[in-house]
A and B are shown apart, each in its own frame.
Chain A
Amino acid sequence: MATNNLHMETNRFFPRSMLSIVRAALTKSWWGFALVVLTLPLVIRILTFNGQEIQVAALIFIYSGLGHIAFCLFGSNMTDMAVKMGQQLTPEYPANFISAGVLLLAMYLLVTIALFSRFELIMLVSAVATALFAASIGLFITHGITGLRLLLTTAALIGVLLIIDYLFDNISNSAFLYVYGQVYFWVNFLLVLLSGIALYRWQLVFNSQAHVQTRSLRWLNVLRSYLDVRNAKQVKGVRTGYLMAPGFLKVAALERRPLWWWFRFGVIDPGALRAHLFWYCMLPVFVSFGGEISLTFLQLIAIVIMVAFASELLDTRDTAMRRLYLQSPWLSRQQFLMELGKFYCVAGLFVMLAGLILMLIGKLFGDNDLIMESLALGVIGFTGITMCFLQAQIANVRVKVWQGGVLIFLICVVGILFYLYLRFDVIQVSQWWLAAAALIAYLCMCGMFNLWSRSDIEI
């Protein structure tokens, strides 16, 4: 009987499971969350925009491009869920995947209409046509056809420009140039980077250094995986979205690295790392919307990222830590915890460096100040959260998830308020005082790790 029921479910195009799949596609990953947050400035821009045709076309182009990325992500989440539910209509497409895709596209269609309805009819039609085209291609790429994804993505974006061209009377070139003009520095930087890698590879091939050829390919894989948003389960044997792949880090060289270096495997979830890297990459695009507000927004985001990253570091992967502890017989319990502490401190430096780079990127797009102050606020927030959690562990107090969340939220709010007070000259604090405070806070955090490692900390 059960088999028969399953059969009936299999042959339905709109099974109830489709709703679960849609929900999972929207909420399943960090990626989705990051994408939604990143899209918000664009939505606000669309809602408040009163510009020329070229600028509207540029907005439609960016909107469709982001829609394409979003549906690559949703598609991989959907496939994952559809496969888990185990119902397949044909070898290629599970029925619930198709119906969930249709539902998701319908939702996207309604959002697009809502966003662009205030423009002229031709603009609305262009937005709907390009967005749905790009989204459909994005969805299609994530299931089945994987080898041609880069080509299909490029083709989709060219297709978007062609539709814009058709509906706007040959405007796509201007629209593209408008977008490019806003983010030209970033695009040029990427092109120079790619050229450098190509030259390096060419030089290796020219010198017939076959063993280095592998290494150079590895770098290309890293670069490719960095742009690949699909779920790895859909592309067996291909790394997706993980910069910290062990091949890149050369696992065989374990003995040459200090132990804390290897603790990264235990404490950082590559998924979270990937999401943060994505933020760093995409934010300059939004800075392209120009003006002081965008730069302020960028600095605020940098502060929040620095503060929030502390929670990523402190959210240790328990069982992995336990395995590492058992695997490190040459370290006492205290020494093991101290190595862990060293890793946190060094990783903290990387987080701060990333925050600084983000703000410096922002500086390339406009004349912003308060860089030192923003960095100091980020560092103080990061160390503050870390020390609160360490103190709780030393005192053997279990911090519940919601309590940790509230703490992080409060420290972020305080940091943001402090920044805004500085920005609008409500308070005036020398940047050097703030820098000194950040340095002292960081040193205190390092010292507290020493105390922490000597306490009875459960692993």
Chain B
Amino acid sequence: MEQVWEKAYNFKEVMNKPERLAGGHRMCAGCGGTVTVRTVLRALEEGDKAVIGNATGCLEVSSFMYPYTAYEDSYIHNAFENAGATLSGVETAYNVLKKKGKIKDNYKFITFGGDGGTYDIGFQSLSGAMERGHDMVYVCYDNGAYMNTGTQRSSATPQYADTTTTPAGKVSSGKVQVRKDLAAIIAEHHVPYVAQSTFTANFKDLYTKAQRAIYTKGPAFLNVLSPCPRGWGYEPSELMNICRLAADTCYWPMFEVIDGKWVLSYEPKNKLPVEDFLRPQRRFKHLFKKENEELIGELQAEVDRLWEALKKRCEL
């Protein structure tokens, strides 16, 4: 049987599906998080019911401000660190109520968290939910810092980024550490599906990965680079270009881990230098001072190292 994610991708058709995140929410122009949510929810088959979960963050406070919700589906926000556990409870309730014949419809379970709520404070709750095998999708919209509270450093923040808690200064070059590789960590939970994506030209990569995540039985994790214009310092209109540069510099590799097998989704024809990704962003501005040249070299070396390691994992 052909799986939903194996169907030919028709951009026009996909974009014409009804929106499940209504307009009028309060997210910023040029926000990647909202694009991630819309693309992932679009991957639900029309007619399929869903419960959407959400960790506290920009997305939650901007899309469900009482008494208005932007979601066309049932939705639950609980707190910052427990999107995984909360949806575990919803999904378990579904299973038992279905078994007892109290509900008849089919539901899918998708939860969204920013990198702060996913890599850091919600890490344990996410790990538990993945390990227990709930049939749900956890989507991290990774913008590389605590954006809702004003761009504080998270463990997803790239090295040398200027954040409000790792400011570049006279004796500081921004964040000291490299970012945590969360997709690999969740893959080590031996869940059936993990993928890393972002939105490139026609949204095919994220859309089909979301389909696969939603329609694969068991826990799935999507890590989606979702730029933040305020935290990163780019023009809102540059959103898609930033994502493309993240992919083409191999700063943000796109891959899948399907039942433990690593598959590379995209290999740029011309791998661009990482500084092409860094240059349009205010958070890396300090790296382009003369005295910091070697830091860009360090970042390039780290990108190259991870890229080679990923290709090895994908047996390329």
A and B co-occur in one complex: no
On B, residues with C-beta under 8 Å from A are none
